[in-house]
Amino acid sequence: MTEQPTAPQTDAPIEASESLQAETPRFSDLGLSEKVLAAVSAAGYLVPTPIQAQAIPIVLELRDIVGVAQTGTGKTASFVLPMLTRLEKGRARARMPRTLILEPTRELAAQVEENFNKYGINHKLTVALLIGGVSLDEQVKKLDRGVDVLIATPGRLLDLFERGRILMNGVEILVIDEADRMLDMGFIPDIERICKMLPPSRQTMMFSATMPPEIKRLADTFLRDPKRVETAKPATTAKTVSQFLVASGREQHDKRDVLRTLVRDSKDLKNAIVFCNRKRDVQIVYRSLEKHGFNVGALHGDMDQRARMATLDGFRAGRITLLVASDVAARGLDIPDVSHVYNYDMPVHAEDYVHRIGRTGRAGRSGVAITIVTDLDG
């Protein structure tokens, strides 16, 4: 088997055999512009992932789309690449973005911005990031100069709209990304408000790893005759992840002992994310691991943006081996080549389990997911 360059995504490239390349269309077959194809080629990719191969032609036909795909399948590029092709015509006006991408978290928004910068190297597009935890003045200055692509979390976007600092009537394309995560975080009323502010003639794309009834209702309300693209059954785990349960006593000190033993005994552990259900437990487990000499960092929703990004950067770069996190890190984060995931706490919902263990086994690699269980988890 030989390795072939494959689909651009927020993760490392997926390995593909020659037979797979023969069955799958290349990016040059999908209708993307020469500028976009040059950027994709420069990044070393030839073969799109299934979600990209199906979604990109639909987006270029100006059709509304609902995409259902597992994490780690290159979903972001499936809307970034055709959007770049579309945006080659026309230009931005002050305070009137041409496209709007809604993300549930600051980290996900920042990753989409990275994708636009990477694949838009041959374009002179202006990209603005509207997220909390950073200077409002700098964001407003960028809006005043005119923005082609606006990537935002719902709260900060509504804040600026209510201040009269942004106009929404020039939006040609709307992307609602990680829709099921939006639901979990209580953003659906905000999404409905935002959709009503936008021109009805826009093109709308919605992407989600699962499709609960509330998300289907949102799609039925705000999308026009959308094409549905589904590359995996909802709430299914990746086949590249080996999954294990390990029994523990019910006391917290018992679980911490089990976790430390598991980490020490893992011969092939390169790095790992340890998931806790509560922010308070993230700090407790983090301090415990630090006390016992582990190279560890913490990530949860109460941290300010600068601290969160510094921790993520340290983990990506290998300066931090163990990352103890709440579910803020469970969906969509670009943390390539994570060898292990430990569920210190059993997650409440099946979808949360799927997304947590989806941090490993990404882009064709193998991974290990271990869940610590007590008799209370039955």
So what's the pLDDT on residue 11? 39
Are the C-beta atoms of residues 122 and 42 closer than 8 Å to each other?
A: no
Q: Which two tokens stand for residue 133?
A: 């935890």
Examine domains 18-230 and 241-377 and report if their fold is the same. yes
pLDDT score at 4: 43
Q: Contacts from 117-120 at CB under 8 Å and sequence distance 24+?
A: 118/8, 118/39, 118/43, 119/8, 119/36, 119/39, 119/40, 119/43, 119/77, 119/80, 119/81, 119/84, 120/39, 120/84
For residue 236, the model assigns a pLDDT of 64
**3-class DSSP state of 68:** strand
User: What three-state secondary structure class fits 40?
Assistant: helix
SS3 281: helix
**CATH of region 241-377:** 3.40.50.300
Q: Of 113, 81, 148, which is closest to residue 334 (Cα–Cα)?
A: 113
pLDDT value of residue 333: 65
Task: Show the tokens assigned to 315.
Answer: 């983990």
The pLDDT of residue 112: 92
Distances (CA, A) of 254 to 341, 347, 371: 19, 18, 14
pLDDT of amino acid 1: 39
Q: Which fold has domain 18-230?
A: Rossmann fold (3.40.50)
Helix (H) or strand (E) holding 207: strand 203-208
User: In 94-115, which positions are buried (b, 16+ CB within 10 angstroms) versus exposed (e)?
Assistant: ebbbbbbbbbbbbbbbbbbbeb
pLDDT in tens, 332-365: 566 778 999 999 999 887 778 887 888 888 766 7
Q: What is the pLDDT of residue 38?
A: 95
Write down the pLDDT at residue 12: 34
The low-confidence residues of the chain, meaning pLDDT below 70, are 1-24, 70-72, 92, 232-238, 328-334, 363-364
Helices (H), ranges, the chain: 18-23, 34-42, 50-60, 75-86, 106-119, 136-145, 154-162, 179-184, 188-197, 213-222, 252-265, 279-291, 305-316, 350-357
Domain boundaries, the chain: 18-230, 241-377
